[in-house]
Each structure stands twice: as structure tokens, then as C-alpha cells.
Amino acid sequence: MTPLAGIGLKDAHALPLLQGAAAVDFIEVHAENCLVAGGPRLRRLELLRERLPLSIHGVGLSIGGAAALDEAHLAALHGLVRRFEPRWFSEHLAWSRHGGIWLNDLLPLPYDAQTLARVCEHIDRVQTRLARRMLLENPSSYVEFSASTFDEGGFLAEVVRRTGCGLLLDVNNAYVSGVNHGRDPWALIEALPVLAIDEIHLAGFAEDRDAAGDRLLIDHHGSPVDAAVWRLYERTLQALGPRPTLIERDHDVPGLPVLAAEAAQARAMLRAALPLREAA
């Protein structure tokens, strides 16, 4: 198995990547950025798709939404997935839409039996419509719900058991949520079914304080991966073995070489996590 270290692709990186300015092992695009009629973004993605494995990462399905899934959006995603045939398609354990309004943030859910049933129903529908297995990403969150009866790891494990979906483990989100809710981030990772984890995300957070003066971390994707997240990633790899790992940056996006260097750091850790026989 070749360890894969990739980057989230922004418009500014497409040409430098095509011109060979840096080496990355795969790319990930936000599905909603590609749901346009035409133009250079899709054309460049088609060229990159011929050279690199592609992950399509949805932010628009509102899997945790109380209402039924937006079938028109799902149909558009189906078209996108058919056109680009990504190796992975992922979405979030969150909701973002209500009453016809798109709120453009990944909003939190109570982890109870009702949410579990709804999320599983929606994932079933996505997997049926797209005719493929999807990966579900653990969120970063800032509040919890009194109504929750599951911890996040137990909730995700049950979703996997019921729907057969895979997981996208965002190690930064695990760390951010762990700190924000006074828990050991490792407890979440440890609770996940190891074999379901098909991709890992790494990103940067910003630091704030809550009303009690305790640390409140903001998942802002606007800075390099934090040292604490790299340590949690290393521990994760020791438990899981290597998994395709993506560097995410959505704000203050630096040039391709900077992102490629972060991906190279992940690649080195992935190689170190290979069984000796394969690493040789």
C-alpha cells in the first residue's frame, strides 16, 4: 500500500499542480464548488483527475437536517460523481439547511436515537442515489445538547454499523471537539471502528476562550496543522496504520509549495507507520 498525502484543491493551485510545481498524492475538492455549468475550474479538474486520485468532499447535503434531503442537490452530486468518478465521496455529520435557507456552516446535532435514525436514513438515501459508499466526517463543535444520549464515537460507530458507510476521521476536529467539551480526543478516535476509516483530514484551528475562561478552539482551516494535532495523528496512525491523509486549508490559503510541504510531513509519518515489510 502506497501512503497517500494530499491537499484540498483551490483554484489558485490547479495550474501550478498541472505544471508540476509540487508533488501531492491526491486532491480533494468541495463538491459545491464544482456544481457550476462550465468554465476553467471544471476543465482543470478534468485534467488533474487524469493524473491524481480525486476525493469529492460535500459540504451541502445537510445529512443531519430535520427535513428530507434536497433531492435536486443530490441529483447534482450524482452528476458530479458520475463525471469525475472520485475514489472517495465524503460528507459531514452535521446540518446546514433549514426552511429553504442555506446557513453555510456545519451545525451540531444532539446524539440521540431520533437523530441516529434520521442520519442513517439520509445516508442510506445518499448511498443508494450515488450508488456508492460514502464516508462520514466527525464534526468539530462548540456546544453539546442536553438531549444527547450517545457520545460522538459511539454514535458514529452505530451509524457505520447500520448503514455500512465509511468514516473520514478529521483528527483536527477530534482534537478541537475534545478540548471544547473537556474530553480526551483519543476517546473519540478509539471508539471508532478501525476498518471503516478510509481517509484522514488534518487542518489548523484558532484559539479562543469560552464564558468560563476555558479554551475554546475554532476549526477555521486558516493556519498550519497544530503540533498537538500532529501528535494525535501520529498516535492514530500507530493504531490504524496508514490512511490517505489530506491537508485542508480554506482561509488564508498559501501557495502550493507550503501546502505540499505539510502534505510531505504527513507522508513521512505515513511511511513511518507502514509495517516494516512494506516500508522496505
Q: Which residues bind other proteins (CB under 8 A)?
A: 32-33, 35-41, 43, 59-60, 65-67, 73, 95-105, 107-108, 110, 114-115, 118, 142-147, 180-183, 208, 210-212, 214, 216, 218
Q: How near is the Cβ of 94 to other proteins at its closest, in Å?
A: 11
Smaller CB separation from other proteins, 133 or 181: 181
Q: How near is the Cβ of 23 to other proteins at its closest, in Å?
A: 25
Q: How near is the Cβ of 143 to other proteins at its closest, in Å?
A: 4
Sign of CA dihedral 102, 95, 217, 7: negative
* CB distance 247 to 8 below 8 Å: yes
Smaller CB separation from other proteins, 21 or 117: 117
- Looking up cell 471537539, which residue turns up? 177
Backbone phi, then psi, for 26, in 5-degree steps?
Answer: -160, 165
Smaller CB separation from other proteins, 87 or 181: 181
Q: How near is the Cβ of 37 to other proteins at its closest, in Å?
A: 4
Smaller CB separation from other proteins, 77 or 266: 77
* CB distance 164 to 122 below 8 Å: no
Residue 209 per-residue DSSP state? E
Smaller CB separation from other proteins, 14 or 273: 14
List, in order, residues 6 or more apart from 218 with CB less than 8 Å away.
142, 176, 205, 206, 207, 208
* CB distance 125 to 165 below 8 Å: no
Torsion of CA 257, 261, 267, 273, to 10 degrees: 180
Q: How near is the Cβ of 80 to other proteins at its closest, in Å?
A: 11
